[in-house]
Amino acid sequence: MENLTLLIEGFSNALTPQNLLFALIGVLLGTAVGVLPGIGPAMTVALLLPLTYALDVTGSLIMFAGIYYGGMYGGSTTSILLNTPGESSSVVTALEGNKMAKAGRGAQALATAAIGSFVAGTLATGALVLVAPFIVAIAIGLGAPSYFALMVFAFVAVSAVLGSSRIRGLASLFIGLTIGLVGQDLTTGQPRLMFGQPLLSGGIDVVVIAVALFAVGEALWIAAHLRHGVPPTIPVGVPWMGKEDWKRSWKPWLRGTVIGFPFGAIPAGGAEIPTFLSYVTEKRLSKHPEQFGHGAIEGVAGPEAANNASAAGTLVPLLTLGLPTTATAAVMIAAFNQYNIHPGPLLFQTEPVLVWTLIASLFIGNTLLLALNLPLAPLWAKLLRIPRPYLYAGILFFATLGAYAAGMQTFNIGILLVLGALGYMARRFGFPVLPIIVGAILGPEMERQLRRALQISAGDPAALLSEPVAVVAYTVIVLFLVVPPVIKAVRRRFGRGGPTGGLQAGGDSDGYSEDTESTVEFDAFGTQTSDGSARVIRVVRPQTERRGK
């Protein structure tokens, strides 16, 4: 109750016409900069921070909240429309979002992302108010063994996105793990797969990997097939979310929030893993799993909610411990220092007015973001009416710009092209792309946590089970691996098809259902191009073989 009173006080501080204007400017600037690929929220905030220097503390916090959420949201727009994720947390959004956009449902994808971000941001900010101290107590108890267990969990979940050909999926995963190995080993300083190139020592930026595989790979693929005729311009469908879209979105929004918030709140959580886990969850729970890979709205709604919930989650350790868990949070601490305010365990006591004003500003920023972006969604979606050759030229331009901006290095553009060629080959030979990215994200983190756990225990593997969270995670993994086959066996006995069997034509007006009926297509992000503008290499395998697995 006391918290609520303080929060209302925070709102009364934040809700002045002048402050609302600052919030609006913040949201606009944040979105504008966040839209550029390769420039994540941390960079956005750092760049725009000087703009807030001249304001008073409240005004600057409010503008800051706007910039923060605006930057988070901006990244998903390019992800959906151009297949060029602006930051690692919106990589997953590109998977279904871009497919939706190409099927003429860009406006719906943007709308579900905007509303999902709003719902998740609001709920998670609310959670921040209510449970911050409680969550922090748990978060501190998590050590390397727990993190490792969570990574193993995420890794097991990868199996859901390997596609219909396990061997191709695994090959993709290992390519990703190999890319993740590049760089200097954090523990020993040993260079790995660097080929004497110091620019590789920090590893390859996940955004560069994703943009290369998604955008460049696809542009090359389209270019390679232009001789079959110029592909038709992407249709632009109805501008608003239909009843069905709402029905299919609201649960993923809530689930995404539940997945994203705790990951944001734990020190080594981040936004990549929860967005990915949310995607996998939605795919498993969806009534239309066959649409995944062709623009399932759940696959946008869930990850976008998870992304924003995680962003709000990072404020938990920041405000209660003074602990920056992301680069963005570190920049925020620098911003606080500007006003001689030092986030730490005592911040809620020493600066209650300020903290609650900030929290109120987050609510305001979030609302403005929705008010701004929802009407814009149909306008943005019209961007795709540009004829394909020009559209892809634009995408390549953005991709290159993003890769360069990610490290200010011409070298990155070389990496982009090499990985783009890899992305093309993956499409050409039917290797799914998502496992490559998941491998590159999860691999290094998992290795680091495993080594840290073993290093602290001086090599005793029993330490991996020394924390309760780790034990719970491993138990869930075992259930995850054991229960589905049992259910399948039971179902088979009663004569029903397994969950992956029997592809059905999608209920959505995506307009490519004949393709999926005639062949077993790669489940996720393999060869299939959703609009049928290019011929697809398919490996036809009898359905029975799949069921045998």
Partner 1 sequence: MPITARTMRTRRTAGTVVLAGVVALALSACGVTSATNTEATDNGPIDSLQVMIPNAPGSGYDVTGRAAVKVMDDLGLATGTEVTNLAGAGGTVGLARTLTETGNANFLLMMGLGVVGAAYTNEGDAKVADATPIAGLIEEAGAIFVAADSPYRTMDDLVTAWKADTANFAVGGGSSPGGPDHLLPMQLADAVGIDPTTVNYVAYDGGGELLPAILGGKLAFGASGYGEFLEQVKSGDLRVLAVTSEERVPVIDAPTLTEENIDLVFTNWRGLLAAPGLTDAEIARLVDAVTAMHGSPEWKQVLEDNSWTDAFITGDDFSTFLSEQDARVADVLKTLGLV
Q: Is 29 in the site for partner 1 (CB under 8 A)?
A: yes
Report 488-527 residues binding partner 1 (CB under 8 A).
none
Return the sign of the alpha-carbon dihedral for residues 177, 182, 187, 191: positive
Task: Report the residue number, 140 or 479, with the smaller CB distance to partner 1.
Answer: 140
The span from the CA of 155 to the CA of 149, in Å, is: 10
Minimum CB–partner distance for residue 454 and partner 1 (Å): 10
The span from the CA of 449 to the CA of 26, in Å, is: 37
- Residue of the chain from 2, 227, 287, 340 that contacts partner 1 (CB under 8 A): 340
Task: Report the residue number, 29 or 305, with the smaller CB distance to partner 1.
Answer: 29
Q: Is 54 in the site for partner 1 (CB under 8 A)?
A: yes
Minimum CB–partner distance for residue 52 and partner 1 (Å): 8
Total chain residues near partner 1 (CB under 8 A): 75
3-state secondary structure of 191: strand
Q: Angle 283-234-381 (CA atoms, 0-180°, nearest 5)?
A: 75
Q: Is 455 in the site for partner 1 (CB under 8 A)?
A: yes
DSSP state of 464: G
- Residue of the chain from 126, 242, 344, 501 that contacts partner 1 (CB under 8 A): 344
The span from the CA of 101 to the CA of 295, in Å, is: 8
Residue 29's nearest CA partner among 82, 67, 68 is 67
Q: Is 198 in the site for partner 1 (CB under 8 A)?
A: yes
- Answer yes or no: are the C-beta atoms of 284 and 296 closer than 8 Å: no
Which one of 364-372, 386-394, 453-461, 502-510 is the stretch in contact with partner 1 (CB under 8 A)?
453-461
Which one of 9-17, 36-44, 164-172, 285-293 is the stretch in contact with partner 1 (CB under 8 A)?
36-44
The span from the CA of 219 to the CA of 467, in Å, is: 47
Q: Which two tokens stand for residue 95?
A: 């998977």
Which one of 5-13, 285-293, 357-365, 455-463 is the stretch in contact with partner 1 (CB under 8 A)?
455-463
Report 309-328 residues binding partner 1 (CB under 8 A).
317, 321-328
The span from the CA of 72 to the CA of 117, in Å, is: 9
CA 278 to chain centre: 9
Which one of 165-173, 246-254, 370-378, 450-458 is the stretch in contact with partner 1 (CB under 8 A)?
450-458
- Residue of the chain from 7, 14, 23, 48 that contacts partner 1 (CB under 8 A): 48
Q: H or E stretch including 453?
A: helix 434-456
Q: Is 25 in the site for partner 1 (CB under 8 A)?
A: yes
- Looking at the chain, the number of H-run helices and the number of E-run strands are 23, 2
- Residue of the chain from 47, 129, 383, 386 that contacts partner 1 (CB under 8 A): 47
Minimum CB–partner distance for residue 185 and partner 1 (Å): 9
Q: Which two tokens stand for residue 140?
A: 């501190």
